[in-house]
Structure 1
Amino acid sequence: MDRIQDPWGARTPYGAGESWPSRADEYTVDTPERWVPTASLLHSNGDGIDIGVRGGRMVGVRGRVADRVNHGRLDPKDVYGWQANLSRDRLTRPLLHNREVSWDEAMGAVVERAKELAATPGGWGRFGFYTTGQLFAEEYYTLGVIGKAGLGTPHMDGNTRLCTATSAAALKASFGTDGQPGSYTDVDHCDAIALWGHNAAETQAVLWMRMLDRRRGPNPPAMLAVDPRPTPVAREADVHLPVRPGTNLALVNGLIRLVLRNGWADDDYVAGHTLGLEELERVVDAYPLDVVCSICGLEAADVERAAELLGTSDRLLSTVLQGFYQSHQATASAVAVNNLHLLRGMIGRPGAGVLQMNGQPTAQNTRETGADGDLPGFRNWDNPEHIRELAGLWNVDTATIPHWAPPTHAMQIWRYAEQGSIKMLWISGTNPAVSLPELSRIRRILARPDLFVVAQDIFRTETTEFADVVLPAATWGEKTGTFTNADRTVHLSEKAVDPPGEARADLDIFLDFARRMDFRDRDGGPLITWTDPESAYRAWQRCSAGRPCDYTAITYDRLRAEGGIQWGGERLYTDGVFNTASDYCETYGHDLTTGAENTAESHRAKRPDGLAFLLAAPFEPPPEEYPLRLVTGRTIYQFHTRTKTGRVGQLDAAAPAVWVEVNPADAKACGIADGERVRVESDRGAIEAPVRLADIRPGTVFVPFHYADQAANELTKTTWDPVSKQPRFKLAAVRLSRIGH
C-alpha cells in the first residue's frame, strides 16, 4: 500500500441505497502483539483506526472495517502520521524559562502567577485560554469548567476559530443550534453532491473515497465544485465554478434566485418549516444571471448548469469548508447554502443533507463542551435560564459564569493580550506563531514582557520558544478519551502506550492546575470532582443531558462494544422541527452583514417555535482587490503547521516545502517561468518560494499555509467575519516578482 503515490487507493464501486463496501487498509513496521481502538487525529473525518502495539511501542495502524465512518479505509495521514509519536525530539520534561525543571516547579510558577492575577481587581479579565481542535471531550470540558466556573473568564477560545467557527455560526443561524444535520451515509443515497469551497480529496480523503466509489458505481451522483483552484474535486466534478475569491455570497444568491424562478423550490416544505421567504426573495432578486457572472467572473452557461443540478436533484448533499469559511462574508455565504437546502426540502432524509464541515478531529467537541468560548451543551449565553442550569450543575453562583457579554473570540483574545489587559495566556496543543494571520504581529504579542505564556504541547514549536512555561503533553494513543467527528460520530480512543518521559495527559495537567488553585463550589467543596477520563466523561454526560448534543446514552461501555456512535441519530431534523424555540436555541441570531446581536425579545417576536430561518444578506465587494489575491490552503500530505506530519518521513518527503501556485497568464505578465523562485509580498510581509503553474483562476495566487520557514500567514491580514469571527485567510492582496528582479 502506497498512500503517497495513490492517496485514495483502489475503487470499490457501489450504487444508490447500497452499503459502502469495506476495504481493509493497514500499515505496520512490525507485527503487532495487540490492537488498540482509536480514530483519526490528523483530520476531521473520524476514521475508525486500530493502533498496533508491540513491546510497549506503536508499530502500525489498520482501518477498522466495522466502523461506520471509514469501513476500513485510511488516508495518507492516518497511514503514516502515527510515527510522529515516536520522534526522538518529543518534549519529556517541563521547561521554565527554557530550562528543564520538575512538574512541581513548572506548575508552581503557573499557579503563582495565576493567583497573583486573580487577586487583582477584575482578575478574571487577566486570563486568556487558547486551545486546539485535537484534545478529547473530557479535556475540553474540564478546561471549560476551570475557565468559566473557576476563574470566571470569558476569554476562552480555540484555533477552531480559524477553521470551523463559521460552521457553528451558520448552523446556529439557520437551525437554532450547532450540530450537523447530515450524515456521511448521505453519500450512499444522494443523486447530487455539491462541494462549496471544500477540497474533500485532500482535507477529508476518506470521505472523498466514498464519493468516488459512488461516482464509479451505477446511477452515480452528479457533482458540483465551487473553487477557484483546479483541485482533484474540481477535476472530478461535472460542473466546476472557478469563482472569483471573495464573491461566494453573490454566487449562491444568484443560484437561489434561479431555483426560485424555475419553480424548483418545495413550496409545501418552505411554508410548513421555515420563516423568512419574503425577505430572502427580495434580497436574491438583485442577483440575475448577468450580474452574478460579472461579479464572480463566471460563464453564464456554467452557472445555469449548476442551478439545474441543484434545483432538479431528488436528493442533494452539500458539504462546505474553508473556501467559504475563510473568505469574505463567510457566515452569510454558508447560511446561503443552508437556505438552498431549506428551499428544496433537502434536510433530514437519506441523501438530502448539509455538512458544514470541520477541519480538525475534535473541533466539534470544542463547540459542544464550551472550550471554544460557547457555553457547554449548546447553551445560550444570553438566556438567563441556561446560565442558571449551568450554575446549578456546577454549584456556583450565576454571577461567576461570564455571561454579561458575548464570549471573547480568539482574535479579540489576542487583541487584549496586545493591549496588555490579558496578562496570562495558556496555549494548549496549537502553534499560533505559524497559524494565525499577520505573523509579525503575533510574534510581537507573544514577546511582550508583561504577558506570561504557558504552552502545552508534545514538541517544541515556533510558539513554545516564546513561552515562560512549557508543559510536555501526552498525545493520541498515549491517553484515553472521546472525540466527535464532523457528522457527530463519537469514538473512544483508548490508551495504547505510555507517553515519553514525564509527559502527561492534557486532562491530568488541567486537573493538577485546578487542584493547586483550589477551586471551590459555593458550598466549599471541590469545584472539579472527577479524577480520570471516565469520570470526566460522566460529568460531561450530565452537562449535555437534555441538550441537542445529549451524550447520556453513549457510554464508554457502548463505545467499546459498538465503535463509533452518532449523537442525535443518523440525521437531525427528520421531523422538520428545528432547534429554534426561543427557550431552547443556542443563539438569538445576528445581522449577517454587521454581526450585531439580535435580542431575546426580537427572537421571540418572530415565534420561530421549531421553524428554520431563511436568512439573506446582500453581497458586498471584498476589501484588498486585485491585481493578485492570495488564497491559502492545504495539501493532503501535511496537517496544520506540520508539528506532527513534518516529522514523518513519508509525509515530509511528499510535500517538504512551500510553493506558490500561479496561473500561466499571471506568471507571464510577471516574467516568471515554471519552477522559478519568486517573492510574494503583501503590506504585512513577504515569503519566497518556487512557482508551480496551474489552471488556477487568473488573478489568484495559492500558497499552502503549513510551512513555518516561509509561512503564508506572513502575508495574511488581521480581519474577520462579523458573525463567526473567523479570520479571512483568503482575501490578501499580494504582489509577485522574480527573485533578483
Structure 2
Amino acid sequence: MAISRDSVSDIWGERTPYHGDGQWPVRVDERVLEEPERWVQSACVLCSNGCACDIAVRNGRIVGVRGRAEDVVNRGRLGPKGLHGWEANNNPDRLTTPLIKRNGTFEPANWDEAMQLIVERAQQLEKQYTASSIGFYTSGQLFLEEYYTLAVIGKAGLGTPHMDGNTRLCTATAAAALKATFGSDGQPGSYFDLDVTDCILMVGHNMSATDTVLWMRVLDRRRGPKPPRLIVIDPRATVTAREADIHLAPRLGTNVAVLNGLLHLLIEGGYVDEGFVQQHTIGFEKLRETVRAYTPERVESISQVPAAKLRAAAEAIATSRQLVSTCLQGVYQSNQVTAAAVQINNLNLILGRIGRPGCGILQMNGQPTAQNTRETGADGDLPGFRNWNNFEHVKELGRLWNVDPAKIPHWAPPTHAMQIFRYCETGSIRMLWIHATNPAISLPNLDRIRSILGQQRLFVVVQDAFMTETAQLADVVLPAAIWGEKTGTFTNVDRTVHISHKAIEPPGEARSDFDIFIDFAQRMGLKDKDGAPLIRWRTPEEAFEAWKECSRGRPCDYTGLSYDKLTGGSGIPWPCNEQHPDGSPRIYLDLKFPTDPDYCESYGHDLVTGGLMTATEYKAMRPAGRAILRGAEYVPPAEEPDDEYPFYLSTGRLVYHFHTRAKTGRSQPLVDAAPDDVLQISEADADALGVADGDWLKVTSRRGAIKARAKVGGIDAGQVFVSFHYGYWDDPGRARAANELTMLGWDPVSKQPHYKYAAVKLERVDSPGTRQPEQVVLHPEDEDGSLSEAVKETAKGLVDAAKSLKPEREHTADYIGLLRMSEQQLVKAFAHVRKTHAKEPDIAVICKLFESWSQEAVDMLQPFADKYGEHRHGEPDRLEDALLRQRVPNAFALLRDLHDLWLLVNESVISVDTLEQAARAKRDKAFEDAIKQIRKRNKRQRRWLRTRIRQAAPQTLTVPS
C-alpha cells in the first residue's frame, strides 16, 4: 500500500511556491491499495482539469492511481476525486449484461437481442416519421473517438438534428461566449498563464471545489514570490472567496450588472488600451454606450455589491499589467449567462490583455471531455468548429464523409438538450438514446422530466455502467465500459489532449461506447454515396486518424498528433500541426482571431433575446480577424423572491463528488466525507427560523420540495445553497434531489438551464418524514411493492392511452395548406387593390404581375399537397377579413391598402420559412426548390411594397387630401 497523503482531509496538499512560466514544481500524489503488477498511462475524468495519471493494475483489477510527474497540466498532483474515484470500476453494482424491459420488468438479454430491438425501432421510426423522430443525449464522460463516431452516425448516417448532451448543462455557455467574441470555440487562455500573471479574476468559479489541482496551482503562485492579486465574484463565502484579496458577493442573477459596472469604471477611468481596441476589435463604441449607465451606485442598487468594493476591484484590475479571467457555473447557470460570459471576454479585450503570457481567458468546462463534444459535433454543432449556417462548411463535411450534404442537418439551429426533452414530451421525438448520464436527476424540474421519460410512446435506450435513476425508466439498458476499461483521447479546458490507455477488461458483457456505436452503424447498414460503409474505422486509433482529417485547417487542428506522440510523455495542446508540431499552449499570439465570415463558427446572436444574426448582418460588421465586443443590458431574472417564496436558491458542486455520484458515490472515503446533502443558510435567516446546524429544513419551490439538514453561515441573508449531486439510487427514503426545485428554463443564446436561481420557501421540520418523489427500486426482491407507485403507473398508462387515441398527422400538411391559402388570398388581394386604385398607373401593372406570381405559387404547391396532404384552418381568411376592406380610392386609402398587402405577404413569408426547414429535413429537393422560388417572389413583393409605402407616406401624411 502506498498513499502519499490523505486527500480527503487535506484536499489540496502541501504548498510548493513558485513563479515563472512552466516552473511549477513536481509533487506526485499517489494512492495504491495493493502492489501493482503494471502501470498504464491515463488521465483523470472527474473534473475538467484533465490531470494526467497512471493506473495501477493487479490481477486484472485497478488497485490505485498516481499522478504523472512529467505532465504539464498537474505535475503529478491529483485531487480527492482523482485519487479515489477509480474504486467505482470495481463496484459490484456494475451492469454486466444488456437488459430489456418486458411487462414493466427488466430481463437479461444478449447483445444481439438488445441491438436488434434498437435497430428495428430506429428503422421503423425513420421510415414512418423521418430521422427527426430520433434523438441522442450524450455525456461529458466519453472519449473523442466515441463522440466523433456518434456525430457521424447522427449527422451523416441518420441525418437527425437532435443530438446534444449533458455538457449543455455545464459548458454550452463557454462555447457560445467564445464564438460570440472570437468567432470560434477554443480557449484563448492557458494554465501556463497562471504561472506568471499578476492578477486573477474568478467569476462564479469556486475553483477550490470544482478544479482542485488548478486551485493548487493558484495557491502555489500565491505563496511564492510576486503573488498575483485574486478577485473573486461569488455570492457565497467559499474557500475560494476567502482566499481572495477582494470578494464581491452579488445578489443572484445580477452578474451582467456587476460586470457592466467593472467595464464602466475601466472605460471611464481611462484604462482602455486604445491602440489595441482600435486595431484588433470592433464594437467598442456600442459597448461604451451600453455600460455608461452602470455607475457603481446603480450596480449596488441592483446587485447589493457595495460601490466602494466595485471600485476597488476595478482599480486592482486596471493597475495590474496582466489578467487571467476565469468563470464557471456561477456564470453559466445563472441569469443572462452568455451575456455575462461575453462581458468577461470584454474585460480582457478592452485592456489588451490577451495573446501574451499571463493574459488569457479560461471559459471553464464543467466536465473533463466536454471540449470534445464541441469539437466533434456531438453537442449538435458541426465537427471541427464549422458553422451550421454556412453551407460551404456543410459541403466540406459532405466531401469528407462522401455523403450528400443535404442530409447533414443544417436547416435550423442544432436542437439543444432541453428542446430535445420538450420534443420527447410532445411526441415529436419517439426514440431517445442516452449515454453515460443521468437526466432523471441532473435536469431541472425533475417531476416533469420523469414524466417525459416515462411515456409509453417514447422508446428510451440507456447506455451506462450503473443502474441509475434514468436507466430505471428505460426500455433497453446497455452495459458500458468506463474509464480504465477502454482506450481513447480527451481534451481539457486549456486544449491539452491526453491519451487514456485500456488498463483492464470491462466486467461481464459490458462494451465500450465506441464498440456499441460501431455495432449500431453496421446493423443499420449506414452507407456513403458509393455504397461503402459510412463508418470506415474499426478501432479507436483509426477513429482518431479520421478525426484528424476532419480537424485539418480548422482552429482545433489535431493533424500533428498521434497515439504514439501522446504516449509516454505529457499531454499536448492543440493546435498541433505543421506550424505547431509540438502543440501551442497559447493561441492568438498574432492577435488574429477566427472571425472571418468564411471561417467563423457562428454569425452571432442578440445576447439578450437570442435572435440569430444573418450572414449578411455579420459580413456588414467586417470583422476581418478582429475580436467582437458585444454589450448587453441587465435584465432581471425570470423568477425572483416574493412574499410566498422569500428566499433565493442556488445549486452547485461539492469538492468530493461529481455529477450525480455514479462513480464518486461508490468510493467509500468520498461517501464518508460527504454522505448527504446539506442546505447552506445565513446566520440571520437561521436565527429568524429558529434553525441550528444539523436541523432539518423543508425547501419548497413552485415545482417541488426537498428536505435537507441545515448548514449555517457563509452565505448572505435571503440566499440558500444546496448541491446537485444527490439523488435516489442509494435510496435515502426522502426527496433530496436539488432539481426537484429548479426551473425548466434556459439562456436564450447558449440554451443552458437556469440552475442558479429559484425562489423558495423554508420550513423547519422535526425529521425528513417523507418518501422520495418516485420509487426507484434497485433490488426488486427486497421490495414489498407500493400501492402509490402502482396507481401512478396506471394513471400514466391511461394518460398515454388517451393521447394515443388522438389521430396522428404530419404537420407539413398544415403549413402546405396555410401557404396555399395565403397565396390564394394574395391573388384576391392584389386583384382587389388593382381594381380599387385603377387610376394609379404603377399599381395596376405591378399588382397584376404579383397576382400572377401568387397564382403560380398556388399551382406549384399542388404536387406537394398531393404528396404530403393539405389541411386548412382559416388563419389567412381571418387576416384578410381584418385587413383589406373596400375603401374610397384616394391617397390615404392607397397607403392603407399597401400596408395591408405588406402584412399579407409576410404571412406567406413565415409559412415559406417554416416549410423550407421541413423540405430540408425531408431531403425533398423538388419541394425545397419550389419553396425557394416562392420565397424569392415573396421577397420581391415585400420589397416593392415597402418601397412604395415609403414613397407614398410623406406626401399622404403631411398634406391634407
Q: Which residue does the alignment assign to 2:98?
A: 94
Q: Which residue does the alignment assign to 2:781?
A: none
Match of 2:48 among 44, 66, 73: 44
Classify the secondary structure of the residue corresponding to 1:454: strand
Shift of 1:381: 0.2
Match of 2:622 among 600, 607, 621: 607
Q: Which residue does the alignment assign to 1:60?
A: 64
Match of 1:598 among 606, 609, 613: 613
Q: Which residue does the alignment assign to 1:324?
A: 331
Residues of 2 paired with 1:314 and 1:119: CA distance? 61
CA contact (8 A) 1:632 1:705 kept: yes
Shift of 1:740: 5.2
CA contact (8 A) 2:70 2:569 kept: no
Q: Which residue does the alignment assign to 1:631?
A: 650
Identity %: 60
Match of 1:573 among 575, 585, 588: 588
The within-5 A match list for 1:285-300 is: 285-300=292-307
Shift of 1:613: 0.3
Structure 1 alignment gaps of length 5 or more: none
Q: Which residue does the alignment assign to 2:744?
A: 718
Match of 2:169 among 137, 148, 162: 162
Q: Which residue does the alignment assign to 1:417?
A: 424
Deviations 1:47-104 (A, max 9, x none): 0000011121111100000001000000000001001100011000000001111000
CA contact (8 A) 1:16 1:218 kept: no
Pair member with larger Rg: 2
Match of 1:25 among 20, 29, 43: 29
Classify the secondary structure of the residue corresponding to 2:499: strand
Mapped pair 1:4 → 2:8 = yes
Residues of 2 paired with 1:459 and 1:266: CA distance? 53
Q: Which residue does the alignment assign to 1:705?
A: 724
Q: Which amino acid aligns with 1:667?
A: A
Residues of 2 paired with 1:453 and 1:312: CA distance? 56
CA contact (8 A) 2:231 2:244 kept: yes
Match of 1:692 among 711, 729, 733: 711
Match of 2:189 among 182, 194, 205: 182
Deviations 1:675-727 (A, max 9, x none): 21010000100000100001202111100000004100000000100000000
Q: Which amino acid aligns with 1:573?
A: Y
Residues of 1 paired with 2:640 and 2:485: CA distance? 47
Classify the secondary structure of the residue corresponding to 2:601: coil
Q: Which residue does the alignment assign to 2:148?
A: 141
Residues of 2 paired with 1:614 and 1:90: CA distance? 49
Residues of 2 paired with 1:383 and 1:655: CA distance? 48
Residues of 2 paired with 1:17 and 1:659: CA distance? 40
The within-5 A match list for 1:354-369 is: 354-369=361-376
Residues of 1 paired with 2:252 and 2:629: CA distance? 24
Mapped pair 1:382 → 2:389 = yes
The within-5 A match list for 1:366-445 is: 366-445=373-452
The within-5 A match list for 1:298-309 is: 298-309=305-316
CA contact (8 A) 2:22 2:192 kept: no
Residues of 2 paired with 1:331 and 1:48: CA distance? 31
Shift of 1:264: 1.2
Classify the secondary structure of the residue corresponding to 2:177: helix
CA RMSD of aligned residues (A): 0.9
Residues of 2 paired with 1:604 and 1:624: CA distance? 37
Shift of 1:324: 0.3
Residues of 1 paired with 2:705 and 2:276: CA distance? 51
CA contact (8 A) 2:652 2:723 kept: yes
Q: Which residue does the alignment assign to 1:650?
A: 669
Q: Which residue does the alignment assign to 1:679?
A: 698
Deviations 1:99-137 (A, max 9, x none): 11100000011011011101114x111101000001000
CA contact (8 A) 1:38 1:493 kept: yes
Task: Name the stretch that deviates more: 618-627 or 507-516.
Answer: 618-627
Q: Which residue does the alignment assign to 2:754?
A: 728
Residues of 1 paired with 2:212 and 2:132: CA distance? 41
Q: Which residue does the alignment assign to 2:783?
A: none
Q: Please report the TM-score for the alignment, with normalisation by the length of structure 2.
A: 0.77
Deviations 1:157-206 (A, max 9, x none): 00000001000000000000000000001110100111100001010000
Q: Which residue does the alignment assign to 1:738?
A: 764
Shift of 1:673: 2.2
Q: Which residue does the alignment assign to 1:459?
A: 466
CA contact (8 A) 2:41 2:568 kept: no
Residues of 1 paired with 2:698 and 2:91: CA distance? 33
Residues of 1 paired with 2:741 and 2:451: CA distance? 16
Shift of 1:301: 1.6
Q: Which amino acid aligns with 1:674?
A: D
Residues of 2 paired with 1:315 and 1:427: CA distance? 43
Residues of 2 paired with 1:213 and 1:61: CA distance? 23
Shift of 1:562: 3.2
CA contact (8 A) 2:726 2:737 kept: yes
Mapped pair 1:213 → 2:220 = yes
CA contact (8 A) 2:696 2:708 kept: yes
Classify the secondary structure of the residue corresponding to 2:289: helix
Residues of 2 paired with 1:213 and 1:409: CA distance? 39
Residues of 2 paired with 1:703 and 1:241: CA distance? 20
Structure 2 alignment gaps of length 5 or more: 576-583, 729-735, 768-961
Match of 1:111 among 119, 129, 149: 119
CA contact (8 A) 1:16 1:214 kept: no
Task: Name the stretch that deviates more: 443-452 or 556-565.
Answer: 556-565
Match of 1:583 among 598, 607, 611: 598
Higher fraction of helix: 2
Mapped pair 1:515 → 2:530 = no
Classify the secondary structure of the residue corresponding to 1:120: helix
Q: Which amino acid aligns with 1:71?
A: R
Q: Which amino acid aligns with 1:112?
A: E
Which of structures 1 and 2 has the larger relative contact order (alpha carbons within 8 angstroms, sep 6+)?
Answer: 1
Classify the secondary structure of the residue corresponding to 1:49: strand
Number of aligned pairs? Answer: 740
Q: Which residue does the alignment assign to 2:846?
A: none
Q: Please report the TM-score for the alignment, with normalisation by the length of structure 1.
A: 0.99
Residues of 2 paired with 1:40 and 1:579: CA distance? 31
Residues of 1 paired with 2:650 and 2:355: CA distance? 33
Residues of 2 paired with 1:325 and 1:646: CA distance? 25
Residues of 2 paired with 1:623 and 1:409: CA distance? 20
Residues of 2 paired with 1:109 and 1:562: CA distance? 44
Q: Which amino acid aligns with 1:583?
A: D
Match of 1:236 among 229, 235, 243: 243
CA contact (8 A) 2:481 2:510 kept: yes
CA contact (8 A) 1:66 1:72 kept: yes
CA contact (8 A) 2:21 2:192 kept: no
CA contact (8 A) 1:623 1:731 kept: no
Residues of 2 paired with 1:495 and 1:388: CA distance? 36
Shift of 1:17: 4.1
Q: Which amino acid aligns with 2:385?
A: F
Aligned CA distance change for structure 1 residues 111 and 17 (closer, same or farther; 3 Å) = closer
CA contact (8 A) 2:21 2:193 kept: no
Q: Which amino acid aligns with 2:324?
A: L
Match of 1:246 among 244, 250, 253: 253
Classify the secondary structure of the residue corresponding to 1:618: coil
Shift of 1:670: 2.2
Residues of 1 paired with 2:94 and 2:251: CA distance? 43
Shift of 1:16: 4.1
Classify the secondary structure of the residue corresponding to 2:128: coil
